[in-house]
Structure 1
Amino acid sequence: MRVAVVGAGAAGLASARHLLAVGMDVELLERGGEVGGVWNYGRPQGRVYRSTHTISSKPLTQFPDLPMPDAYPDYPHHRQVLEYLRRYAERFGLTEHVRFATTVVALEPEERGRSDTGWVVETDDGARARYDAVVIANGHNHEPRRPDWPGEFDGTFIHSADYRTPDLFADRRVLVVGAGNSGCDIAVEAAAVARATALSMRRGYHYVPKYLLGRPVDQVSEWTLDLRLPLPIRRWIARQAVRLGPGLPSRVGLPEPDHALLESHPIVNTLLPYYVRHGRIRPVADVARLEGDRVRLVDDSIEPVDVLVAA
């Protein structure tokens, strides 16, 4: 069986490794020049910033068939993750199956209206090839979604996908829009160097620190799973741990979420509550429109902004 795997990042490499293990004829199609996908800092396909570390700890990040080195920290840096993915590709002989600098531009069933007869993959060099199956592993964070706000902005605008270092924030007024993990990371970096930093949020989130009880937070969560505790008890333990640690969102000065803890992935950030409580990050409402060097929010308040970050 001939299988195409689109993308040679973490998911693509893992898919190819196990397909090869069961005797499949595998070809990885990678538009970049090396394996690793978004972890290639400084490369066109890279989407990490200079300070990026994983938000999942080492045991829950590594593949089960190749542990990360003991010398790696609890939360590896992006350079270490990339090196690990390179070693994974070498260990299982994956690199020889990769076609680099190859972008997939079209995918269609071999017979229109049917998905059980094979697929035709077209690449940017005009070539078309047939495969029995195709694995889409190009990642959901590769292409940024740019908001279509009304109005015009006169300052510096960037998307979080293009952010690398906080240098452009120095002594400027920064508004980060979006309070997911990337938005919170960038707001924290801005708060250390900017004249003023605001974080625009459409809704509330649950925030957990990277460590609870002296251990990485996801390992504590795994411990409660291993004990087979019912979800309400696990949720109560998590809520009490957050309350006694960084504090619940409303106590910290952040909007209260409309969903229960463990109902969706929380924001893993130790420093955001710290900077909010020290007045270095101000939570503000969602964006309504852009007005030159100002941003009008949905509560009709105005934020003077030099740098606008869509996250």
Structure 2
Amino acid sequence: MPEYGVDAAYDRGDTVCVIGAGMSGLLAIKNLCEYGFKVDCYEKDSGIGGSWNITQRRSPMYANTHLVSSRTQTEFPDFPMPDDWPDYPGHKRVLSYLERYADHFGLRDHIWFGSEIERIEKADRGRFDVIVKPTSGSAARRLRYAAVVIANGHNWNPFVPEYPGQQAFRGEIIHSSSYADSSRLRGKKVLVVGAGNSGCDIACESATTADRTWHSTRRGYWYTPKYLFGRPSDQLSQRMSWMPKGLRHKVTEYVIRRVGGDPTRFGLPRPDHHMHQSHPIVNSHILHHIGHGDLEPRPDIARFDGRHVVFTDSSTAEPDLVVLATGYRPSYDFCDPELLGTTTGDDGFPRLFAQMFSPSSETLSVAGLIQADSGIFPLVHWQTVAIAKWLRIRASDPERAKQFRDRVVTEAGTRYTDGKMNDSPRHRLEVSHDLYLDSLARIIETLDKESDGA
């Protein structure tokens, strides 16, 4: 296209383009290569790891970030984390794990660092033209690929809500993406907004560092401790997977109440939903800091008023610093919305079959666009296995591939959750680990049957 200063595309034949070299991109490279594809991966930053690489400009990591899913529930099925690692490794260990994974499977040879994707466009025979521009400012290139796997992550584009009077607030407001460590909180009065895992972590850090800390949340939540009966809580949940899901949820809620107590006693609203209807908050310290008077719970913000913040219960706070731990939104500026099933009012959230296949293109997939109630690393592994199997069948047996596609494309937008999941933007990507894993297993089994000629 003339607007990119690019004329004819350089044809890469049967090569697959992967966008992003974070966790999802690395898995895509490895599994595509195992199924015989040549792969070109483009990474905007200078190193691998994506969100887990705190040195990269778009990483949401802060110094004290740790996994909220335990090691054994997070590791890749074919590349375990070291047995002598702690139950909940920090971001440095996770990055080293991804680096060792990349080196073990020789993935770096497929990655072009400092390369930004400006545009992907449909070409002939289901292929895509990918316009790549080096971040150094060199001229863009147009390359033609057999397929594209988008793996650019969804935790780098901050969502910043707007409240009445916010622009005139005389304190400082930052998003949690700009939060590096607790030194920024020292000696200040701090308001943390948001009850996600990052918001709760930062609120707890502030409780031990700042002069005073308020924590604003919109509703009541279930706060799951990292340990139950001396074991990581997600391991205990996994051990109960044999139970009917209704019974399992009741038992889990009973245990949380017995361990943590009544949240209303701590000034928190009672949860208005069951545990499986909201993304789990895994934090062992919230109630501890509230009980010690170091953290003051508050409801949602009603408005800003000069130096003050007014909450919906008419109480006020006068913070020096407001940290908006209000999450992120997916961003695919390089891609036409219809390719991802995105429509007006979706807040940029794609609607994909099985959370990975484009509803309008057989050769476009998205890896890692999920949030789960346990570790997502193994889920994305099986996602990329399914993508690789699908592309291989499409290349080797187009008629069988069409039959499979006709069966599954109508399921775009299906939500793999237990019961009625909250329909807030924060939960659009939510999947139940077990339900989604079962779905991936069925997809892979079906693709295997297709490839066997069954």
Once the two structures are superposed, residues 190-229 of structure 1 have per-residue CA deviations (whole angstroms, 9 ceiling, x without a partner) of 000112111111122111000011100010011011xx21
Tell me the residue number matched to 2:195.
Answer: 179
User: Under a length normalisation based on structure 2, what TM-score does the superposition of the two structures give?
Assistant: 0.65
CA contact (8 A) 2:50 2:56 kept: no
Tell me the residue number matched to 1:309.
Answer: 323
Once the two structures are superposed, residues 57-108 of structure 1 have per-residue CA deviations (whole angstroms, 9 ceiling, x without a partner) of 1111111111111221110111100000000001111110001011112222
Give matches, 1:113-262, under 5 Å: 117-125=126-134, 126-151=140-165, 152-225=168-241, 228-262=242-276
Q: Which amino acid aligns with 1:117?
A: G
Q: Bigger CA drift: 88-97 or 137-146?
A: 137-146
Identify, as 1 or 2, the structure richer in helix.
2
Q: Bigger CA drift: 120-129 or 47-56?
A: 120-129
CA contact (8 A) 1:39 1:78 kept: yes
Distance in 1 of aligned mates of 2:295 and 2:216 = 10
Tell me the residue number matched to 2:5.
Answer: none
Once the two structures are superposed, residues 160-205 of structure 1 have per-residue CA deviations (whole angstroms, 9 ceiling, x without a partner) of 1111111121121111111110000000000001121111111221
Q: Does 1:15 align with 2:24?
A: no
Q: Which amino acid aligns with 1:220?
A: L
Distance in 2 of aligned mates of 1:132 and 1:247 = 55
Q: Does 1:75 align with 2:88?
A: yes
Q: Bigger CA drift: 63-72 or 101-110?
A: 101-110
Identify, as 1 or 2, the structure richer in strand.
1
The sequence identity of aligned pairs, in percent, is 44
Q: Bigger CA drift: 239-248 or 33-42?
A: 239-248
Q: Which amino acid aligns with 1:132?
A: A
Distance in 1 of aligned mates of 2:110 and 2:264 = 51
Q: Bigger CA drift: 295-304 or 46-55?
A: 295-304
CA contact (8 A) 1:253 1:277 kept: no
Q: Bigger CA drift: 254-263 or 88-97?
A: 254-263
Tell me the residue number matched to 2:73.
Answer: 60
Q: Alpha carbons of 1:292 and 1:123: their partners in 2 closer, same or farther (altered >3 Å)?
A: farther
- What SS does the corresponding residue of 1:245 show, helix, strand or coil? helix
Q: Bigger CA drift: 121-130 or 238-247?
A: 121-130
Q: Which amino acid aligns with 1:119?
A: F
Q: Alpha carbons of 1:107 and 1:149: their partners in 2 closer, same or farther (altered >3 Å)?
A: farther
C-alpha deviation, 1:26, in angstroms: 1.0
Distance in 2 of aligned mates of 1:248 and 1:25 = 56
Tell me the residue number matched to 1:34.
Answer: 47
What stretches of structure 1 of length at least 5 have no aligned partner?
A: none
Tell me the residue number matched to 2:285.
Answer: 271
Give matches, 1:98-113, under 5 Å: 98-110=111-123
User: Under a length normalisation based on structure 1, what TM-score does the superposition of the two structures give?
Assistant: 0.94
Distance in 2 of aligned mates of 1:221 and 1:108 = 44
Q: Does 1:285 align with 2:294?
A: no
Q: Bigger CA drift: 243-252 or 199-208?
A: 243-252
Q: Which amino acid aligns with 1:208?
A: T
Q: Which amino acid aligns with 1:230?
A: P
CA contact (8 A) 1:242 1:248 kept: no
Q: Does 1:97 align with 2:113?
A: no
Distance in 2 of aligned mates of 1:192 and 1:265 = 26
C-alpha deviation, 1:154, in angstroms: 1.7
Once the two structures are superposed, residues 11-63 of structure 1 have per-residue CA deviations (whole angstroms, 9 ceiling, x without a partner) of 11111111110011111111111111111123313221111110111111111
C-alpha deviation, 1:248, in angstroms: 4.0
